[in-house]
Amino acid sequence: MDIAIGALIAVINQSLLYWRMRQLENKNIIDPKQVVNLARVSLIERLMLVGIMLVFAMMQFDPLSVVVSFFLINLGVAFYKNVS
């Protein structure tokens, strides 16, 4: 269960990132200042949401298993997107 929770949080993290990237593409934002602002907002909201979810998961389950599965899934998804 610990590994599944970490993987679920990683999928939520990647989904939020993908959603923000789609928003950026749909808005056709060219101004670098607006791109940086959207990236900053995305970073802060993902950091807060994912951080809070990880803290609660680590309080309920084995912290090492949750964190390791979270990072492995995030790295796997990032590597898969770069290779594809």
Q: What is the mean pLDDT of each run of 10 residues along the chain (84 residues)?
A: 88 86 77 82 88 92 90 83 60
Tokens matching residue 46: 């993902």
pLDDT of residue 39: 81
CA atoms within 13 A on the CB side of 3: 2
pLDDT of residue 19: 86
Report if pTM > 0.85.
no
User: DSSP 3-state assignment of 14?
Assistant: helix
* Backbone phi and psi for residue 66, each to the nearest 5 degrees, phi listed first: -65, -50
